Structure 1
Amino acid sequence: WCKFVLVDEPVRRGRHPSGVAWAPPIRVLAGPEYDSFTADAQNAFWNDEWLVTPNSNRMGFRLAGTELKRTHKSDLLSHAVMPGTIQVPPNGQPIILMSDAQTTGGYPKIGAVIHADLWKLAQVRLNGAVRFIPTTPYEARQALIEERKYLRQIDAAIGMHEERCARLAASAAV
């Protein structure tokens, strides 16, 4: 009988609370094959808005936008990948590997979404847009530290709420 209460109106489906379509900035580290993409492709990667296509799923978000061309085509051996890896197949449309991603891949990796932003990316709806923002390993680590701190605060707040509920239940039983 002790529960959380919503005090605000629910958010409309597919909309940010501000009422506009949500195109979150996603922080990305440049990947190992980043330099193998043309200057125009690198520019488009950072400056264009990318749409999450309907053929996306928990394995990967397939994006649509400017074709990302490489300076030279070369075959890559399969290599380890993980959620957040941004691969570019021959069609030039990026794929961001998500939570159910495979463990190896053979496409060039233009970048990697930082761990602290994967949750934000996962909230983008099909046909929704994202933008990439370059970041550094130091900033990625700081973002992860902040995310963990925030989650600890939520955990502590839930713990305090549960204690309060237990006290209320005990006093009501008397």
Structure 2
Amino acid sequence: MFFFIRTVCLFLVLFLGLSVAMQKFFVNVVSSDERAIMPTSLTMALPSSLVRTHDTKTGLLLAGRIAQNSRDWAHARANFTALNEKFEGNATTSLRVMTLALGAGDFDQAIKTAEAINTDYLLNDAFKDDGETFDLARLLLVGKLVKEGDIDGAQALIDTLHRGALSSFAKPIMEAILTAGQKD
């Protein structure tokens, strides 16, 4: 047992020593100007460099997915917004852009995207079976209508919510808010 522990400790010391030696070697070999432009983390640098250099549909989609998986919400939002604007958007991309804008606190962009979703998908009969997918966009538009004072329009939009987890939670709350708003 002693020999095993000693061997493991020696390997750890050896690997740590090699790691430090490699770092010192690269510090001496690579100039400071080159190090300044090198990414410190490829995962975090990849989405930002793709935003600047790639404008293909696949590049923007992959950069957005990598950024989102890395919890880099700003780059994910930039990539998905560019994807939605440069190429014909689809429902999934539009919902992702809206959700990322909500998460970033950019409510104007989220409402603008929700209105585009309403125009492009909710009012289109081809998407009538995908109702629950768009309930978050509907709820955002309900909030906008309530803020504008259009209680009847908000109630009509709430009535279009589909049965699902989101609407089961939000519909009674929104109806209570609208009822209270009508009594004022």
Bigger fraction of residues in helix: 2
Q: Same fold (TM over 0.5)?
A: no
Which has the greater radius of gyration?
Answer: 2
Bigger fraction of residues in strand: 1
Tell me the TM-score normalized by structure 1.
0.25
Tell me the TM-score normalized by structure 2.
0.24
**Which of 1 and 2 has higher RCO (CA within 8 Å, sep 6+)?**
1
